[in-house]
């Protein structure tokens, strides 16, 4: 049934001639680069990501309005004074998103720039582990693996980095470096187990990662009740605070929470960009991710790729765990240290289309949601859950690109909506 799909590659010289005639107003064959870029942007999933966010915010606005008490009471006398209700809706939605902005980017109510910009640094602080874990999940995606094990990898990484952080005594710099290394290795091992099991036994990585999440959770919970991780003299399942030598130094001075972990994360983003786009290993990763059969026939050791990719993926997710214990919460941690980041990372990777810089900015967006969500609740009394709803809607819209395309009437990529020059070139 090869002819059911319009054969894109084949040419109809007549159609092309007709189409390239100036009267038809179709794209001329030698279109400038910028318009080709724009078309890719519109047809590709970058636009989908942005529009999914827009749509989710719009639906979130509807929900805010529906649940707002002022709106509800104004709706009671809608027919006598409809303007009241619209005013109430505006106040509720605008107020909510203004609070979100003020909590995540810049707070205009502060007098000084230093105080006003504080929310943005909070956003970056929240974004740091999200980006790291998102990169790990995205890397696995590119190899065709679904890494749901972010939680487990983060917990193991946090335990390793944390143990080094509070129990060893090392000089400044060295201590931090060793702690980071221990955490990343811990995450890598936890991820590598998954790759190894998949390569050796064919076990499905989704099941293995989910199960290893539980193993990691209860292992760390257990260790938190033994002298290995538990703070001496305490009954709480919590570690002692990190040694000062092992903590990420604050980036912008003690007034802000944003810490040097962000630098590691930027470095990780550059590394993943190089790995996937410029390295031989990344080429093999992508080949296996797109078509493992062809990769195998071309002599690529697919099983090895699975193991190595999961090692690196786990290591990157591990960096998120490290950033949590050495940067965000340095006063000792319990078994909730992953804070759901391992799962949010999946969303971040999806929103970032599994591209390193896409993940970077998606991570910052989600960091903003986290930072802004609290101020939204504090300032406007809107439950922080609405932010979670918006986040979930983003995933939903990204998972359904045809829906977004329909709503915004975007062209379907690959469809011969307009005969492009590539079509013209192909004759057999």
Partner 1 sequence: MKLELRGITKRFGSFVANDQISLTVEPGEIHALLGENGAGKSTLMNVLYGLYRAEEGEILLDGTEQHFAGPGDAMNAGIGMVHQHFMLIPVFTVAENVMLGHEKTTFGGRLDLASARKTVLDISARFGFHVDPDALVEDLPVGVQQRVEIIKALSRDAKVLVFDEPTAVLTPQETDELIVIMKQLREAGTSIVFITHKLREVREVADRITIIRLGKVVGEALPTASNKELASLMVGRAVELTVEKEPAVVGAAALVVDNLSVIDIHGQIVVNKVSFEVHSGEILAIAGVQGNGQTELTEALLGLQDRVTGTITLDGKPLTGLSVRKVLDAGVGFVPEDRQEDGLVAEFTIAENLMLDRSTREPFVKAGSLQLATLAEFAEKKVAEFDIRAQGITAHVGRLSGGNQQKVVLARELSRDLRLFVAAQPTRGLDVGSIEFVHTRIVETRDAGTPVIVVSTELDEVVALADRIAVMYRGGIAGIVPGDTPREVLGLMMAGASHAEATGESAVRTA
Binding site for partner 1 (CB under 8 A): 1-10, 12-15, 19, 26, 278-281, 283-284, 286-287, 290-291, 293-301, 414-422, 425-428
Q: Which CB atom, from 43 or from 95, has the smaller least distance to partner 1?
A: 43
Nearer to partner 1, 151 or 198 (CB): 198
Nearer to partner 1, 263 or 418 (CB): 418
Q: How far apart are CA 318 and CA 338, in angstroms?
A: 10
Distance of CA 374 to the CA centre of its chain: 20
Place of tokens 């939605």: 93
Strand partners, 259: 250
For the CA atoms of 38, 41, 44, 47, what is the dihedral angle to 10 degrees?
A: -140
Phi–psi pair at 232, nearest 5 degrees: -65, 140
Q: How far is CA 90 from CA 62, 64, 81, 85, in A?
A: 11, 10, 15, 8
Q: Min. distance of Cβ 413 from partner 1 in angstroms?
A: 11
Q: What 8-state DSSP symbol labels residue 410?
A: P
Residue 112: how many other CB atoms lie within 10 Å = 8
Q: Give the contacts of 299 (CB within 8 A, at least 6 positions apart).
A: none
**Closer to partner 1 by Cβ: residue 36 or 115:** 36
Contact criterion met (CB below 8 Å) for 133 and 360: no
Q: Which of 92, 127, 83, 136 is nearest to 354 (CA)?
A: 136
Closest approach, Cβ 281 to partner 1, in A, equals: 7
Label residues 245-271 b or e (16+ Cβ within 10 Å = b). Answer: bbbbebbeeeebbbbbbbebbeebbee
Tokens of 52: 């999914």
| Sole residue written with tokens 């289309």 | 353
CB of 46 to partner 1, least distance (A): 16
371: its two tokens: 């930072």
> For residue 350, which of 28, 8, 48, 81 has the smallest C-alpha distance?
48
> Closer CB to partner 1, residue 17 or residue 385?
17
* DSSP type of residue 106: -
Residue whose structure tokens are 């590119």: 142
- How near is the Cβ of 295 to partner 1 at its closest, in Å? 7
Tell me the closest approach of the beta carbon of residue 299 to partner 1, in angstroms: 4
- C-alpha 11 chain-centroid distance: 41
* Closest distance of CB 277 from partner 1, Å: 8
User: How far apart are CB 420 and partner 1 at their closest, in Å?
Assistant: 8
Minimum CB distance to partner 1, residue 287 (Å)? 5
Smaller CB separation from partner 1, 3 or 111: 3
- For partner 1, the closer CB: 8 or 81: 8
**Residue number with CB closer to partner 1 (300 or 403):** 300
Nearer to partner 1, 34 or 112 (CB): 34
Closer residue to partner 1 (CB): 64 or 276? 276
How far apart are CB 21 and partner 1 at their closest, in Å?
12
3-state DSSP of 16-42:
HHHHHCHHHCCCCCCCCHHHHHHHHHH
- Shortest separation between residue 1's beta carbon and partner 1, angstroms: 6
118 versus 353: smaller Cβ distance to partner 1: 353
Token pair for residue 261? 């972990």
Dihedral of CA atoms 204, 205, 208, 211 in degrees, nearest 10, equals -120
Residue count of the chain, please give it: 428
Task: Give dist(CA 285, CA 313) in Å, integer.
Answer: 12
Minimum Å gap between C-beta 24 and partner 1 is 9
Q: What is the CB neighbour count within 10 angstroms for residue 149?
A: 33
């Amino acid at each position: 049934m090869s002819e059911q799909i319009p054969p894109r590659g084949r040419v109809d010289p007549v159609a092309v001639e007709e189409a390239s005639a100036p009267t038809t107003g179709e794209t001329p064959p030698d279109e400038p680069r910028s318009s080709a870029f724009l078309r890719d942007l519109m047809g590709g999933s970058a636009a989908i990501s942005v529009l999914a966010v827009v749509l989710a915010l719009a639906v979130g606005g509807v929900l805010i309005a529906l649940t707002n008490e002022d709106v509800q009471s104004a709706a009671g006398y809608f027919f006598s004074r409809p303007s009241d209700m619209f005013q109430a809706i505006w106040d509720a939605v605008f107020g909510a998103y203004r609070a979100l902005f003020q909590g995540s980017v810049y707070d205009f109510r502060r007098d000084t720039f230093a105080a006003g910009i504080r929310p943005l640094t909070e956003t970056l602080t929240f974004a740091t582990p999200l980006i790291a874990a998102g990169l790990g999940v995205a890397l696995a995606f590119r190899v065709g693996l679904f890494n749901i094990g972010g939680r487990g990898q983060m917990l193991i990484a946090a335990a390793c980095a944390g143990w080094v952080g509070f129990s060893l005594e090392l000089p400044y710099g060295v201590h931090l470096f060793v702690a980071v290394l221990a955490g990343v290795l811990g995450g890598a091992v936890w991820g590598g187990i998954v790759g190894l099991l998949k390569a050796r036994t064919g076990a499905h990585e989704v099941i293995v990662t989910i199960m290893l999440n539980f193993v990691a959770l209860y292992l760390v919970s257990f260790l938190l009740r033994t002298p290995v991780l538990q703070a001496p003299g305490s009954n709480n399942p919590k570690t002692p605070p990190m040694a000062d030598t092992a903590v990420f130094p604050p980036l912008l001075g003690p007034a802000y929470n944003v810490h040097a972990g962000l630098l590691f994360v930027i470095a990780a983003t550059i590394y993943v960009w190089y790995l996937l786009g410029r390295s031989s290993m990344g080429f093999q990763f992508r080949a296996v991710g797109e078509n493992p059969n062809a990769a195998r026939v071309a002599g690529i050791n697919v099983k090895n790729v699975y193991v190595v990719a999961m090692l690196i993926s786990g290591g990157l997710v591990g960096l998120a765990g490290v950033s949590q214990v050495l940067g965000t919460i340095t006063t000792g941690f319990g078994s909730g240290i992953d804070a759901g980041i391992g799962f949010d990372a999946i969303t971040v990777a999806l929103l970032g289309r599994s591209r390193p810089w896409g993940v970077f900015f998606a991570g910052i967006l989600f960091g903003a949601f986290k930072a802004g969500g609290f101020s939204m609740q504090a300032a406007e009394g809107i439950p922080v859950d609405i932010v979670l709803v918006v986040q979930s809607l983003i995933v939903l819209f990204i998972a359904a690109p045809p829906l977004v395309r329909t709503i915004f009437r975007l062209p379907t990529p690959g469809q011969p909506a307009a005969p492009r020059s590539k079509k013209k070139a192909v004759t057999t």
